[in-house]
């Protein structure tokens, strides 16, 4: 097994732990525990940066696999993949904006954009995990 073979599993793990940090951040802010919320969100952003680095490394060094599923699952997979990719591109600047506003203490504007950022970020992370499971576990890659 090569380093490139391991990277999809690494990125999936980073995605899964990011979801946990996001949900922890939501839990803490709803209980007005700003310090714990801040720590959880710094963790989520850090994991997402690590995810992006591993994801880009993988896609620049590995072949692209064709989705092996057939029949009705193909349009479902591609609809999920397309929505994931489009929203992943959109959420990156949203996360940066939300994160910087929070770090800067601009909580009113932070809260306003976070209401949109969190659900999109959670969807992107969860849909990424579903794509990973479908591509690497349910329907094995075809080189």
Rounded (5°) CA angle 109-115-116: 105
Q: What average pLDDT is seen over the chain? A: 94
Burial class (CB in 10 A: 0-12, 13-18, 19+), 117: buried
pLDDT at 143 over 70: no
Q: Is residue 39 part of a domain?
A: yes
Range of the domain at 118: 3-138
> Diameter of the chain by CA atoms?
51
Number of domains in the chain: 1
pLDDT band with cut points at 50, 70 and 90 for residue 141: low
Q: Is residue 28 part of a domain?
A: yes
Instruction: Report the alpha-carbon distance of residue 20 to residue 10 in Å, rounded.
Output: 16
Burial class (CB in 10 A: 0-12, 13-18, 19+), 97: middle
Quote the pLDDT of residue 111: 97
pLDDT digits (tens, 9 = 90+) for 32-69: 999 999 999 999 999 999 999 999 999 888 877 789 99
């Amino acid at each position: 097994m090569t380093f490139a073979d391991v990277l999809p599993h690494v990125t999936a793990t980073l995605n899964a732990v990011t979801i946990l940090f996001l949900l922890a951040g939501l839990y803490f802010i709803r209980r007005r525990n700003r310090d714990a919320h801040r720590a959880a969100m710094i963790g989520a952003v850090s994991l997402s940066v690590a995810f992006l680095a591993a994801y880009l490394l993988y896609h620049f060094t590995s072949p692209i696999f064709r989705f092996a599923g057939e029949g009705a699952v193909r349009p479902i997979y591609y609809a999920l993949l397309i929505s994931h990719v489009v929203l992943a591109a959109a959420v990156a600047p949203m996360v940066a904006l939300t994160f910087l506003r929070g770090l800067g203490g601009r909580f009113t504007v932070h809260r306003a954009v976070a209401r949109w950022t969190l659900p999109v970020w959670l969807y992107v992370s969860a849909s990424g995990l579903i794509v990973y499971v479908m591509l690497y576990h349910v329907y094995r890659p075809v080189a």
